[in-house]
Chains A and B, each alone.
Chain A
Amino acid sequence: MKMRKLLPFVLLAVGALFLLSGCDAMLDAIFPSNQISVDVWVTAYTHTDYAVGAYVSVTLHDNTSGTSKTATTTWQSYDGYYVHYRVSFTKLKDDNFSLTSTYVDYLGYTTSTFYIYDPSGYGYVGNGLNFTMPYSNSGDSTGHSITVVQYFP
């Protein structure tokens, strides 16, 4: 096979790739399923010592199918005021979901979900967030990839 005769097509493909690599539609095609990230903020007054040994469990309940997923994580970062615990749920259907979380501190004391925010609108959502995917009131205009904040004072 004389592959070199196809060289013009290679150049076209390179050009297409160049365009696609900067193309949002391409990314949306590659990541078509819904994804939800939950950033859990826990107050830490002076240092991160409180975070050592503490953990957060986040449960995403699919109200449509009646199934649940739980992700547990230890702390990831500290911004000077809050310790951040972040988990992600991927490959989600266009269902209705509710979100709850539990913070277990280093002494073993447990606190359930306090406040949930949609950071794109900075709106107070309340205890137990219910939403249907795609959820367009978020940073990603497609609504397929949203992030919410859970805040523990």
Chain B
Amino acid sequence: MKKLLVPLAAILLLALAVPAAFSEAELGIGLTPGQVANPPDLNNVDPILNFHVGWNWTILYLSWDAYAMPDYWVYNNTTYVDPSSGYTVQGYYVPGFLNMFDIGAKIVLKPFMVYAEVGTNMLYLRGGANYGKVGVNARLGAGLHFGFWGINLSGTQVFASTQDLSAAIHQASHGNWSDLTQGMVPTLNFVIYF
């Protein structure tokens, strides 16, 4: 617990430095390198496009990101082993939007900004269906904020369940950040602020 006090105190001090009335809406677009997104065939290097909407008030940060995922990613992430039978249940082979609804903290000290969020995922499958079993996510990001536009780099980690996420955060609070950050998918985001 003591290890958490220093970063919490730092966040509090930074929050005090942000004007109380500060609020901002944002729209963005991002790109994730395809190979980092782990396609099954290394010849596939399609980058992943995402759309971003966000709003922050002081340090409270809410965001929604919709990642356009290729069909092979959707298949890999909807295929699972049924724990009762032990058999593999084949997934959906269609493209989809991986929607991430997140809440967290964002600190803007122009031109610098950093943010951290956690949230839930929802996968829209081409054809009209929604698939809910894609867990939760954690995201860390940092970047530059110039007037009405900015650019930032984020890393997103998808977890199968909230238990997995809380275990990773628990490990991070003990100084072991690998569960939280290892395998994070980097995304370069271009954002316009309003």
Contact = CB atoms under 8 A, between A and B. Distances in A.
A24 interface: yes
B126 A27 contact: yes
Interface in B57-100: 64, 66, 68, 70-72, 75, 79, 81, 85-88, 90, 93-97, 99
Nearest to A17: B51
Q: Identify the interface centre among A27, A28, A140, A141: most chain B CB within 10 Å of its CB.
A: A27
A21 B126 contact: no
Contacts of B72: 35, 37, 86, 88, 90
Interface stretch (B10-18, B35-43, B167-175): B35-43
A56 to B, nearest CB: 12
B88 A79 contact: yes
Given A35-B71, A84-B88, A145-B94, A24 B127 contact: yes
Contacts of A90: 44, 46, 70, 72
The dominant DSSP class at the A interface is mixed
B166 to A, nearest CB: 28
A126 interface: no
Contacts, number: 104
A71 B40 CA distance: 10
A153 interface: no
Contacts of B94: 139-140, 145
Given A21-B97, A37-B93, A31 B70 contact: yes
Nearest to B68: A30
A29 to B, nearest CB: 9
Nearest to A140: B94
Nearest to B89: A79
Contacts of B25: 7, 10
Given A3-B194, A88-B40, A88-B41, 4 more contacts: A14-B27, A26-B68, A77-B79, A79-B88
Interface of A: 1, 3-4, 6-7, 10, 13-14, 17, 20-22, 24, 26-28, 30-31, 35, 37, 69, 71, 73, 76-80, 84, 86-91, 139-141, 145, 147
Sorted nearest first, the 3 A-B pairs with minimum C-beta distance are: A21-B66, A77-B88, A80-B87
7 contacts: A10-B25, A27-B126, A28-B126, A86-B72, A90-B70, A140-B94, A145-B94
